[in-house]
Structure 1
Amino acid sequence: MTFQKISILFACLFALNTFSQFQVDADVRARFEYRHGFGNLFPDNTDPAAFVTQRTRLNVNYKLEKLTVLMSFQDVSTWGDTKQLAIGDNNNSFSMFQGWVQYAFAPTWAVKLGRQVISYDNQRIFGGLDWAMQGRFHDAALLKYKNKNFIADFGFAFSQESQRNENTDFLLQGAFTYKSMQYAYLKKTYNKGLVSFLFLNTGFQDFTDANNTIVDGVNYRQTTGTFFKFPINTINFEGNAYYQSGKATATKDLSAYNLALEAIYKPNNTVFGLGFEVLSGTDQNGSSKNKSFFPLYGTNHKFNGFMDYFYVGNHANNVGLNDLYAKAVFKTGEKSTLLTKVHYFAANNTLINNADTYLGTELDLVYSKNLLKDVSMNIGYSHMFASNSMSLIKSGRSNNNTNNWAWVQLIVKPTLFSNSK
């Protein structure tokens, strides 16, 4: 962080301190990871990876009658990525994570503008992705309605790389990086449940060359569906159903679906869960239509196993996934718990040469403990028992090597200052 950036930050802090409600929060977390087959089958004749990443985030929030402003600054780095005695970081690790303003122009209506987290329901389609140190944000404008137990959000975004005088070509490419976005989200809550509806339209820049430099229009993908929660006696159910249509690419149509259902039972201090998720896929032997569902902008790390073999920057336009899982959360102390989760993975559509669709089984263990009021610790271990068929969707890598992942994380989230005037 340069001296100029620090000066600007503190100038903002002192200026904002004159408003009626002002609060400064910190979010500092460091995570050690040992990777031996994380995200992909571990290759032959290779050493495992080990590193420590850290996020240092400062959130500045103030409210004045109908106005709310949030500014969130962060530095995300890997221990050792900057030389000692260096004048500044050369890795562009410092950034603004959020910077938005919300104005309530009527008792039930507000407009929210700027860089912001968009997160709904179980975060399957829209989520903040807090597991990733950098998090996920959108540069967007929202029109928001809220009245008792009903809310409606209407979102709009239009992306450009810079200010310019001609054309609106968008050459910035990434995992489903959109040129434009429009969505409507409606949610109705009840005494013991809720139901929501989402319609999302995303536009992606088309290109006529392999290097993505010659533009040729925009293709649009629509995601439509619902999320719900309701109890039956002592069991709580939640699930979702989404359908994707439009264009997968400029030349290929898209028709895909996502179905999920989970049942949770909480006797005493233990939580038991059983569920399944189906994400449709495309036949590896060839298909004229893309049938592969992709969850787009959700917190995908929390679904389909913590080892991120599916839908975390991978598994797009692939054979889909059938995920059957069971989980239990045990209370191991006054302020500690142990999560145990097992996934059974299978391809949703046909693999090449009609291979067995069973992909593997993953075991996830996470121990969590609150050390102090604002300090918590997590320790995790995951193991992937991959089948021969897993290599067919993982670049042909062998499934004979051990695939496991271990991590330890410390999270400190104090309120540094809070004032009301």
Structure 2
Amino acid sequence: MTNRSSFKLALFLLFLVNEVVAQTFEAEADLRARFEYRHGYNDLFSNDADPGVFVQQRTRLNLGYSAEKLQLFIAVQDVSTWGDTRQILPVDGNDSFSLFQAYALLNFNENWSTKVGRQVISYDNQRIFGGLDWAMQGRFHDAALLKYQKNGFNLDLGTAFSQEQPKNEGNTYRITGFFTYKTMQYAYLKKAWDKSSASFLFLNNGFQGFTGPNNATPDDVYYRQTMGSYFQFPIQKVKMEGSAYYQFGKANNTTDLSAYQLSLEATYKPGSTLFGLGIEMLSGTDQEGASKNKSFFPLYGTNHKFNGFMDYFYVGNHANSVGLNDLYAKANFRTGEKSNLLLKAHYFMANAKLQNNADKYLGTEIDLVYSNKLMKYVNLNVGYSHMFASDSMSLVKGGKPSDNTNNWAWVQLNVNPKLFSLDF
């Protein structure tokens, strides 16, 4: 080998070493098991029924790779209920294994990047876009994002186009679900200051329309737009945050939509205890005589976080309904070095008119959640919620009785260790 060839080989090896040193590979586990006792969770409890009792588990493996201008992330998971597969079967019988995230993040320079693939999209307080981590399966989007950031300013442009499989002809999208979109485009802008921030979101969703008997005939795509702002700022020792959104376009193939969401919350933490008071208003449609849909729906947010932990509203339900006015108060107490107790109370009213001009008061919910960090990577949560439903609640819950006991209890163990991290 000549000296020139040796020099070239040495430069090549040096280049490889420099590239290798700048790379990192990480692996994390996410195991979550949750016991639940449901006696009126998500809906009023029926007469002569038995409560639902089960244990659900999520087992997730997160794999991340990063280099100077490239990041890759893959998360696979199994979500199952204890006992849903008969013992000694050679395969899992419930088809519970899935790909949760798989994306690439390419950094063009210090300001511009793109993120492409299956990913969680989450902004602000997660009211419109959120990861929905409470649900074992979480929420993801198959999307492409163009991102810009500089001096506290962020801009995200996102787009998605959904199909159930490759096709040679036609674009009908037959996968249905709660606001499952065929196409999506959005722009998100945020500016952060010292202890304040404000953001603006414009979201356009296209949904596959169907007509005819049993909605079996494909129709044109109809579009729903959501636009608005989220903000937070301090007033001395009080933290203020709120949002205002407006939805318009089409509620379905033939019905126009005009709806709004308003919220404002104040929190104060004089010592180790946090106190909060807030209100949220989500517009609704009158149960009688309505010619236009006025029902706001928060679409792809972490809706379990809002309007009571019993999920009576906007968690796979309450769409195109009478809306909600939610007045709430909360207190988070430190109970130990690594533990705390959250107490939250909600006063619910319908936003629109109920049939026969019934009283708009729907009920009061009390939520208790105890959290304790047992050891490194291990957290325990225990919760109890009780819904004191009014007679009017049955008018928005399909006529179910409102005088039964409606409560819910749960215990959850989270184990989230970092398995290893390699720099090479």
Report the TM range for the smaller structure's normalisation.
over 0.9
Q: Paired residue for 2:61?
A: 58
Please list the CA deviations of residues 284-321 of structure 1 after superposition, one character each: whole Å capped at 9, or x if unmatched. Answer: 01211100000000000000000000000000000000
Q: Paired residue for 1:163?
A: 166
Please list the CA deviations of residues 93-114 of structure 1 after superposition, one character each: whole Å capped at 9, or x if unmatched. Answer: 0011000001112321111100
Q: Paired residue for 1:288?
A: 291
1:72 aligns with one of 75, 84, 91: 75
Q: Paired residue for 1:214?
A: 217
Question: Number of matched residues?
Answer: 405
Deviation at 1:209, TM superposition (A): 2.2
Aligned-partner Cα distance in 2 for 1:191–1:65: 29
TM-score (norm 2): 0.95
Aligned-partner Cα distance in 1 for 2:369–2:312: 18
Equivalent position SS for 2:304 = helix
Bigger Cα displacement from structure 2, 212-221 vs 328-337 = 212-221
Q: Paired residue for 1:393?
A: 396
1:229 aligns with one of 221, 229, 232: 232
Deviation at 1:91, TM superposition (A): 1.1
Q: Which runs of 4+ in 1 moved over 2 A?
A: 209-213
Equivalent position SS for 1:224 = strand
Aligned-partner Cα distance in 1 for 2:314–2:137: 18
Deviation at 1:210, TM superposition (A): 4.2
Please list the CA deviations of residues 191-244 of structure 1 after superposition, one character each: whole Å capped at 9, or x if unmatched. Answer: 011000000000000111243321111000000000000000110000000000
Aligned-partner Cα distance in 1 for 2:84–2:131: 25
Q: Paired residue for 1:407?
A: 410
Equivalent position SS for 1:301 = helix
> Does 2:313 match 1:310?
yes
CA contact (8 A) 2:21 2:423 kept: no
Equivalent position SS for 1:106 = coil
Aligned-partner Cα distance in 1 for 2:21–2:392: 62
CA contact (8 A) 1:126 1:296 kept: yes
Aligned-partner Cα distance in 2 for 1:194–1:210: 49
Q: Paired residue for 1:153?
A: 156
CA contact (8 A) 1:171 1:212 kept: no
Deviation at 1:18, TM superposition (A): 9.4
Aligned-partner Cα distance in 1 for 2:414–2:386: 24
Structure 1 segment 130-145 matched on structure 2, within 5 A: 130-145=133-148
1:241 aligns with one of 244, 259, 264: 244
Label 1:345 to 1:420 Cα distance change in 2 as closer, same or farther (>3 A). Answer: same
CA contact (8 A) 1:75 1:94 kept: yes
Deviation at 1:420, TM superposition (A): 1.4
> Does 2:28 match 1:25?
yes
Aligned-partner Cα distance in 2 for 1:125–1:210: 33
The residue type paired with residue 285 of structure 1 is: E
CA contact (8 A) 1:178 1:205 kept: yes
Please list the CA deviations of residues 18-68 of structure 1 after superposition, one character each: whole Å capped at 9, or x if unmatched. Answer: 971110011101000000000000000100010000000000001111000
Aligned-partner Cα distance in 2 for 1:110–1:260: 32
Q: Paired residue for 2:113?
A: 110
Structure 1 segment 190-201 matched on structure 2, within 5 A: 190-201=193-204
> Does 2:408 match 1:418?
no
> Does 2:281 match 1:278?
yes
Aligned-partner Cα distance in 1 for 2:103–2:123: 18
Q: Paired residue for 1:4?
A: none
Aligned-partner Cα distance in 2 for 1:407–1:93: 22
Label 1:319 to 1:92 Cα distance change in 2 as closer, same or farther (>3 A). Answer: same
The residue type paired with residue 88 of structure 1 is: V
CA contact (8 A) 2:22 2:68 kept: no
Q: Paired residue for 2:50?
A: 47
Q: Paired residue for 1:268?
A: 271
Unaligned residue ranges in structure 2 (runs of 5+): 1-19
Aligned-partner Cα distance in 2 for 1:420–1:305: 44
Aligned-partner Cα distance in 1 for 2:213–2:276: 45
Q: Percent identity?
A: 65
CA contact (8 A) 1:281 1:319 kept: yes
Equivalent position SS for 1:141 = strand
Please list the CA deviations of residues 254-305 of structure 1 after superposition, one character each: whole Å capped at 9, or x if unmatched. Answer: 0000000000000110000000000000000121110000000000000000
CA contact (8 A) 1:279 1:320 kept: yes
Label 1:280 to 1:361 Cα distance change in 2 as closer, same or farther (>3 A). Answer: same
Aligned-partner Cα distance in 1 for 2:298–2:213: 25
Q: In angstroms, what is the RMSD of aligned CA positions?
A: 1.0
Aligned-partner Cα distance in 2 for 1:236–1:118: 25
Equivalent position SS for 2:175 = coil
Aligned-partner Cα distance in 2 for 1:271–1:133: 28
Equivalent position SS for 2:103 = strand
The residue type paired with residue 147 of structure 2 is: K
Aligned-partner Cα distance in 1 for 2:67–2:349: 52
Deviation at 1:78, TM superposition (A): 0.2
> Does 2:303 match 1:300?
yes
Aligned-partner Cα distance in 1 for 2:243–2:192: 15
Q: Paired residue for 1:321?
A: 324
Q: Paired residue for 2:387?
A: 384
